A and B are shown apart, each in its own frame.
Chain A
Amino acid sequence: MSAGAVGRAYPRLEGREKVTGAARYAVEYPVDDVSYGWAVPAAVVRGRITRVDAAPALALPGVLAVVHHGNAARLAPGSDRELWLLQEPVVHYRGQFVAVVVATSLEAAREGARLVGIDYDAGPHSTVLTSDHPGLYRPDHVNPSYPTDTAEGDFDAGYAAAPVRMDATYRTPAYHNNPMEPHATTAQWRDGRLLVHDSNQGASSVQATLADLFELPSESVRVIAEHVGGGFGSKGYAKAAVVLAALAARQVDRPVRLALTRQQLFGPIGYRTPTIQRVRLAADTDGRLTAICHDAISQTSTLHEFAEQTAVYTRSMYAAPHRRTTHRLVRLDVPTPFWMRAPGECPGAYALESAMDELATAVGMDPVELRVRNDAEVDPDQGQPFTSRNLVACLREGARRFGWADRDPTPRARRDGRWLIGTGVAGSSYPARARPSSAAATARADGGFLVRINATDIGTGARTAMWQVAADALGVPPERVEIRIGDSDLPVAPVAGGSMGTSSWSWAVVRACEALREKLRNAPDGVPADGEVTAEVSTEEEVGGQPMLPRYAYGAQFVEVRVDVDTGEVRVNRMLGVFAAGRVVNPTTARSQLIGGMTMGISMALHEEGVLDERYGDWVNHDLATYHITGCADVERIEAHWIDEQDAELNPAGVKGIGEIGIVGAAAAIANAVHHATGVRIRELPIRLDKLLGLSALA
């Protein structure tokens, strides 16, 4: 029978290790004979390397090697050219890694990196995304495999015929993931085998990538990621650090620790592309949408195509007979953008949920009621009923908890001294997906169980959640279960990303535990008489055979802001999110994750901005003093709630994933609240002080 661990608030299993400093991250393992790698970034945007002068660096005591395109081990081309590092004398963007200095100390490696002389033959560059860039093109698909454009009905005719129309363009800047632990690796070669302790979101995929690049059988590569200091998408696949560390370790024939510097995280490991989004909405006079169009523009690099699925959110969120979405891309001389928490949905929801607020104003309707009126039971995109859709329940519950009912919709109607007060709301949605995974469960004669799966805990609480799921699936108290994750020697599992870690991994864990119980059916007390019994499963067939249905989590975000009438300073008084995300495995870690996503939404709306210098061809603010992220003093009152939701069409654990939905819609709710407070509509994030200056003159 179920031991009932799922749904209970357990503290994190590794909590003690994390608060005592015992938890080891990627470059913290004791290693004999270790050396240090320091990456050298290109100092031009685009061009050819004409000379590498390693002599000044090599002359430093302690420097062992300068690894560059002229002497590095050859890599197979692989599928991501960002990872084909130190292979050619060509620079594709400023900051691309062109060398690594290896030394016996960090100090020598760092100084050596400064002394490597590199001459370039630099060419002209294009690094600024514009809506009329001559290089705009239509990609074949958008991340990960959505159609580029969609159309239903006749948008142009529907839009032209409607009594209420709104047409606005929203812009978001480049955002940088900035996990607290940089991308970091300890690499060791032994007898042709590669062992890396690496900071990533999926050791199985990093193992596969390294095997490809170094042309090794996958069993010759082991990737360990026991504790990972955050990723937020940027560590979703193998990135530069692990490749550079492996190359460097091969060169000097001894172990290498290599951590990127904070500055080096701004670009080469991916970032959220800037977007330019035009949204057009048409409605009848009672607020029912008749036409929706979302045209999104973003950037990619000359090395690899990454097409942010910015308008995909709009395809399934609200119903209307006439609909169109498009994506266009420009290849710029920039690093390749990549995943950052809710790629696509996050910037897309900022635009659409802002536009819905503008439409509410245009039709004179409450923005909660407008969303309720345009709710959809059938997925407007796929034409099938949603497996569960509790957007309205989230909006209603959020409105009740927040105290939305008495809201005066008039902008700039509330004031408290110098502060203008306003409230805003936004919808939120994120797909509930699952990928195939494998897992193994072992029963021991002493009554204990061991569950093994190469899941990754990047701070989500995955280790604890899988332990709870395993206990229930085995029908034993969790104290009898040991869980092991974060090592490519364990059964292969997909990345912690796309909010599908818990759904994918728990599926395999449940099936492995069921298979083990079946094996032990005739054993007394379900325990082997002696030795061990193991069951290992893969969900490849079962997940692959799941019917394609529209599965989504939903949410509603409510925000109250205050805006200083003189300085334009925006403060978030309170933020409240209500989510419908299937079953919640662990309320403690779930709440933390949702609050974390919402807070990153505050950061997106008010604090973060990659500021590009066109002449320099790079962001000028690439550290945490100049690229601001939300800090402790910025978060005054924040609450995450969820509604009870059962959905039998998901996965055995009934979960939808909660890693990303917390950020979706958050920035729009803040921008909408700022509009309510001030009467000023900011359509270009972040909402900086200077964009609100002059408020007192408006009074």
Chain B
Amino acid sequence: MQDRPESETTTDERHSSRVSFEVNGTHRELTLDNRTTLLDTLRERLGLIGAKKGCDHGQCGSCTVLLDGRRVKSCLVFAVTLDGRSVLTVEGLAGPDELSPLQAAFVAHDAFQCGYCTPGQLCSARGMLDEVARGWPSAVTDDLTTPAELTDAEIRERMAGNLCRCAAYPHIVAAVRETAATT
């Protein structure tokens, strides 16, 4: 679902690159302006509008996606660095017409209001749960010699990079807690 004809998107061929990477399991090959971020590539070239632009400076977390399984702020990633890499966005968290347990928990706990930060929260939470599974500590982990227990304080700290002006925070924590406990 490409928004625009490719012929028009390249502003200057000397400053563009051919990039080949995977998005939500689909192989993509694009010629991109070297200045293009992953976020703008997703939104403006691939029609994947789930990742949101809240600040474009890596300060709000609304654009969080998973890059080779790790959460990144896609507004800070230049698309030309993506050759051979794999991106997962909110659109790829579950199959068509399905919700992942995390998405279902977000709905059940009303873990959003306006919904603008939500795709970033979801991708961040997905990446965060994986970090916990790998035993990565956070700033509030007391004991670094044993795997961190996913307390509410741990969830709050680990989700602190994703701002929500509606302040659905306690419900986000509840949704993540429930997902971690049941999956």
Chain A residues with CB under 8 Å of chain B are 11-12, 14-25, 28, 30-31, 33-34, 60-62, 103-108, 111, 178-182, 227-230, 232, 259, 261-262, 458-461, 588-589, 591-593, 595-596, 598-600, 623-625, 629-633, 635-638
Contact = CB atoms under 8 A, between A and B. Distances in A.
Contacts of A21: 48-51, 89-91, 119
Interface string B142-183: 000000000001011101111111111111110000000000
B170 A625 contact: no
Contacts of B117: 180, 229
B47 interface: yes
A61 B34 CA distance: 14
A577 to B, nearest CB: 13
A624 B172 contact: no
Contacts of A178: 165
A181 B116 contact: yes
Contacts of B71: none
A62 B35 CA distance: 13
A259 B52 CA distance: 12
Nearest to B60: A624
Contact of B59 (A28, A60, A106, A625): A625
A232 B170 contact: no
A625 B107 CA distance: 29
Interface in B83-135: 89-91, 93-94, 99, 103, 106-108, 110, 112-119, 122
B170 A595 contact: yes
Interface of B: 1, 3-4, 8-9, 11-12, 33, 35-36, 40, 43-44, 47-57, 59-60, 62, 89-91, 93-94, 99, 103, 106-108, 110, 112-119, 122, 153, 155-157, 159-173
Contacts of A22: 50, 91
B135 to A, nearest CB: 21
A521 B103 CA distance: 43
Contacts of B56: 261-262
Contacts of B99: 16, 19-20
Given A61-B12, A636-B156, A23 B167 contact: no
A638 B59 contact: no
Nearest to A111: B35
Contacts of A598: 167
The main secondary structure of chain A at its interface with chain B is: loop
A631 B173 CA distance: 12
Contact of A599 (B36, B122, B169): B169
Contacts of B103: 19-20
24 contacts: A11-B107, A11-B108, A16-B107, A19-B90, A21-B49, A30-B1, A62-B12, A180-B60, A228-B114, A229-B116, A229-B117, A232-B165, A459-B115, A461-B113, A589-B113, A593-B113, A595-B170, A596-B113, A596-B166, A623-B55, A625-B59, A632-B156, A635-B156, A635-B167
Contacts of A28: 43, 49
Contacts of B47: 30
Contacts, number: 196
B119 to A, nearest CB: 5
Given A28-B49, A181-B54, A635-B156, A592 B116 contact: no
Contacts of A459: 112-115, 166
A20 B165 contact: no
Contacts of A34: 3-4
Nearest to B89: A21
A592 B122 contact: no
Contacts of A14: 115
Contact of A18 (B94, B108, B112, B165): B112
A33 B62 CA distance: 27
Nearest to A177: B165
Nearest to B120: A180
Contacts of B36: 105-107
A699 to B, nearest CB: 27
Contacts of B35: 107, 111
A23 B91 CA distance: 11
B119 A589 contact: no
A60 B165 contact: no
Contacts of A106: 36, 40, 44
Nearest to A633: B160
A635 B156 CA distance: 8
B11 A105 contact: yes
A605 B11 CA distance: 47
Given A18-B115, A588-B110, A262 B59 contact: yes
